[in-house]
Structure 1
Amino acid sequence: MTPVHWAFIHQTDGADPGRDSRTVVIGGCRVELVAVGTHDQAVPVARDLAARGVQLIELCGGFGAVWTARVIEAVEGRVPVGAVTYGAESLAGLRAVFP
Structure 2
Amino acid sequence: MHNLWIPVVAIFVVTGLIFGGQAYSESQRDAHIAETISERLNSQAPAEISNLATVNKGYGVCGDYALSGAESGRFYYNSNTKRLAVGTDAPLYRDNCESVYN
Larger RCO, structure (CA 8 Å, separation 6 or more): 1
- Answer with 1 or 2: which has the greater Rg: 2
TM-score normalised over the length of structure 2: 0.23
TM-score (norm 1): 0.23
Structure with the higher fraction of residues in helix conformation:
2
